[in-house]
Amino acid sequence: MKKIILLGYMGCGKSTIAKELSKKIAVPFIDLDEFIEKKVKMDIKTIFAEKGEIHFRKLEHECFVELLNLTEPVIIGLGGGTPCYANNHELLKREDVLSVYLKASIDTLVSRLSLNKSNRPLIANKNDVEMKEFIATHLFERSYYYNQAQYSVAVDEQTIEQTVGEILAILA
Query: What is the nearest approach in angstroms of ligand SKM to the Cβ of residue 102?
Result: 12
Q: Using CB under 5 A, which of 2, 15, 57, 160 touches Mg ion?
A: 15
Q: Determine whether the annotation assigns residue 33 to a binding site.
A: yes
**What residues numbered 71-100 form the site for ligand SKM, per CB under 6 A?**
79-81
Looking at 13-159, list the stretches that DSSP marks H as alpha helix, in order from N- to C-terminal side: 14-25, 32-40, 44-51, 53-68, 88-91, 106-114, 128-146
13 is in an annotated binding site: yes
Query: What is the Rg, in whole angstroms, of the alpha carbon atoms belonging to the chain?
Result: 15
Select from 6, 11, 33, 149 the one that contacts ligand SKM (CB under 6 A).
Answer: 33
**In the 8-state DSSP scheme, what is residue 84?**
G
Is the Cβ of residue 10 or residue 91 nearer to Mg ion in the bound state? 10
Ligand-binding site membership of 94 (annotated): no
Does 14 show up as a binding residue in the annotation? yes
Contacts of 98 (CB under 8 A, 6+ apart): 2, 3, 4, 5, 150, 151, 170, 171
- Identify residues 43-102 at the interface with ligand ATP (CB under 6 A): 77, 79-80
- The answer to whether the CB of 15 falls within 8 A of the CB of 164 is no
Which element (helix H / strand E) includes 164?
A: helix 160-171
Stretch that binds ligand SKM, among 86-94, 98-106, 114-122, 157-165 (CB under 6 A): 114-122
Q: Is 40 in the site for ligand SKM (CB under 6 A)?
A: no
In angstroms, the CA 12 to CA 155 distance is: 7
Interface with ligand SKM by CB under 6 A: which residues? Answer: 10, 33, 44, 79-81, 120-122
Known binding residues for substrate are 33, 57, 80, 142
